[in-house]
Chain A
Amino acid sequence: MKALERALSWLLSGRRQTASHALLAPAVLWLLIFLVTPALGLVALSLARNGAYGDVVWSLGLRNYRRAFAPQFAPVLLRTVGFASATTALCLLLGYPLAYFLSFRAGRWRGALIIALMVPFWTSSLVAFYSWMIILGKEGLINAALMRFGFLSSPMGMLYTPFSVLLGLVYFYLPFTVLPLYGSLEKIPRQYVEAAYDLGAPRWAAFREVTLPLSLPGVIAGALLTFIPCLGDFLTAELLGGPRYYLLGNLISNQFLMAQDWPFGAALTSLLLAGMIAGLWLYRRWEPDA
């Protein structure tokens, strides 16, 4: 028993690098088996050629990568980054006050309110999409109400616009921004903020100088958990977007499903992965407190 405790303590202390690696080992093992190996398979696939009826021909080359840099795909990439950035920004702006409220003001309702934040997503997202269609549709609730009270003479099209895509994305990713934010805000000792007040700082200054900087890890975690999945999202664009808002996720999944061009889909995936891993890695290098 004592020996076990000593072993566990050694693991947790991290005095030796081996302990750090050992503590990360289970997660890394998982990632190696279920992510890295299949991803390497995809990289290999991306070098192959698409053969008859979507058969994979193993004559290796970079043709799929050359094709991926064709100018016709640039707008798709830009549009995707645009939507992902806008969603992340909106989620942070909308979500920060909520996370703040949950951390400092919610009192004994906090637990319930946090769970209530996730509960809407415990139904199928498809059901939520359909509900949004009912709300935003031409014969939907908003149009019906506006026309009833004479604000509109004919229904306005809200579905299949950038607005509906953005609304869908914000709706689905908001909790993924708020929870990490809450996680780090909640941790800020109240005394720090009170000390700032005691030193005569106005509320806003106290927030700007104390709370906000201390919550930055949460802001970053929330932004990542929103931005990155947004880049690969295809369902929102498909159900709420229409053909003009074709995103990278749609392009990639279409290669695997519709076009049956797996090598090209794998090449696009590899590029996306490489770009994001490089970005994150660079970011971690200069991140001050990591």
Chain B
Amino acid sequence: MGADFSRRDFLKAAVLAPLLPSFLAACRRAESGRVVNFFNWSDYIGKDTLPNFTKRTGIQVRYDLFADEEEMFAKLRAGARGYDLVVIGDYLIPRFRALNMIEPIPPGALANMGNLAPRFRHASYDPEEATVPYLWGTTGIAYNRRTLKRKPTSWWDLWDPRYKDRLSMLDNVRDCISVAMQLLNIPETTNSEADFQKVRDLLVRQKPLVKMYSSTSYLNSLVAGEIDLAMTWSGDLFQAAKDNPDLDYALPKEGTYMWVDCLALMRGCRHRQDALRLIDYLLEPKVAADNADFVRYASPNEKAWPFVDPVLRRDPRVYPPKKMMDALMLHHILDPEQTERWNELWADVKVA
């Protein structure tokens, strides 16, 4: 062939070349061994955390990705199988449990459970400890120090007409409605239609000011200076602030919410022992500290705190001081009717 390599050969080669790696991959896939299938966000774990686990135990971790918790929930609910371990937000736990989608972690199965700070044990969203807290943070206000003359101090700043078209809200039912209820002094336990109407009106009143409802892409807009003010989750903002040092985080004076991302075992998981081993490993003080440092979220692991990067450990935005900690609230656990009513309300705001 050689010199006679014609265009036709070239086309043939071009068509066949992509198939080669899949053939090789098919050969690779044949090898079997111990494995845990872990479903999580991209980059939501320390760089060396999983490789070190594999080195120590010989258990491979297949790390699958989702881009959005609601999408992940929809996929699992539609019947996707095979995941052993999944990271879910606290507010999703009652939903997962009600639909029988997770397997409670057997009590006493984890040697390192005691490393967790008492505050994160038997929390209201998961009194039976079916899941294990992974990382946590707060909901607050992100702002651009350079373009905003005044540091925001209150949730009401997100309703300030001066910031028209410069602010974004999380595209999240729980956070937006909870904050609106807080501002109206309506308890989250309410079932009154009049209360819901008031909440709706408050959120619709804010809508003309809002540049976007978003839970991920607004971070880019913050970095790019497209918006100056945003309702945000603490850890996400700290990641974004690495690229724009003008970005800062404020906790509103009305008080705010904390959220906890948790590790859960999927119902029917096939690698239970190895998955438990991975959870236990993630609870080790040194591992938990390195992990938290990498993603810049706070660790619920009390024993890990001495190993956490001192800069982060001293940062009151990441690890709030005792007084602020005591003021942090967990989201109220909604019953099914309330959940539906909240969802409807939020959908109403979105189409208004």
Contacts and interface: CB of A to CB of B under 8 A. Distances in A.
Note whether A and B contact each other (Cβ less than 8 A): yes
B224 A257 contact: no
Contacts of A51: 336
19 contacts: A52-B98, A52-B336, A53-B98, A54-B77, A76-B351, A130-B220, A133-B221, A137-B224, A138-B225, A140-B224, A159-B226, A242-B212, A251-B351, A254-B347, A256-B74, A258-B173, A259-B344, A260-B95, A260-B343
Given A50-B340, A137-B224, A243-B212, A72 B348 contact: yes
A238 B347 contact: no
Interface residues of B, number: 36
B340 A160 contact: no
Nearest to A73: B351
Interface residues of A, number: 35
A53 B74 contact: no
Interface in A106-134: 130, 133-134
Given A53-B336, A242-B212, A254-B350, A138 B226 contact: yes
Interface in B308-336: 336
Task: Please list the 4 inter-chain residue pairs (A to B) with the smallest Cβ-Cβ separation, ordered nearest first.
Answer: A52-B336, A257-B70, A259-B343, A53-B95
Given A53-B94, A138-B226, A246-B351, A258 B73 contact: no
Contacts of B339: 52-54
Given A134-B224, A254-B347, A261-B343, A243 B98 contact: no
A259 B347 CA distance: 7
Interface of A: 50-55, 72-73, 75-76, 130, 133-134, 137-140, 157, 159-160, 238-239, 242-243, 246, 250-251, 254-261
B165 to A, nearest CB: 6
Contacts of A72: 348, 351-352
A157 B226 CA distance: 9
Contacts of B210: 242-243
A160 B226 CA distance: 10
A138 B70 CA distance: 31
B346 interface: yes
Given A239-B217, A242-B211, A258 B351 contact: no
B351 A257 contact: no
Nearest to B337: A52
B31 interface: no
Given A137-B224, A238-B217, 17 more contacts: A51-B336, A54-B99, A76-B351, A130-B220, A138-B226, A139-B224, A159-B221, A160-B212, A238-B214, A242-B211, A243-B207, A243-B350, A257-B71, A257-B74, A258-B173, A259-B346, A260-B74
Contacts of A53: 94-95, 98-99, 336, 339
Contacts of A140: 224
Contacts of B225: 137-139
B79 to A, nearest CB: 12
Nearest to B206: A243
B194 to A, nearest CB: 20
Given A137-B224, A138-B225, A55 B99 contact: yes
Contact of B213 (A55, A76, A243, A261): A243
A134 B221 CA distance: 10
Contacts of A134: 224
B68 interface: yes
Nearest to A76: B351
Q: Which of A53, A75, A130, A246 has the most CB of B within 10 A?
A: A53
Given A73-B351, A139-B225, A243-B207, A133 B220 contact: yes
B343 A258 contact: yes
B171 interface: yes
Contacts of A50: 340
Contacts of B344: 259
B226 A133 contact: yes
Given A54-B77, A73-B351, A258 B212 contact: no
Nearest to A160: B211
Contact of A258 (B70, B94, B165, B340): B70
Interface in B250-290: none
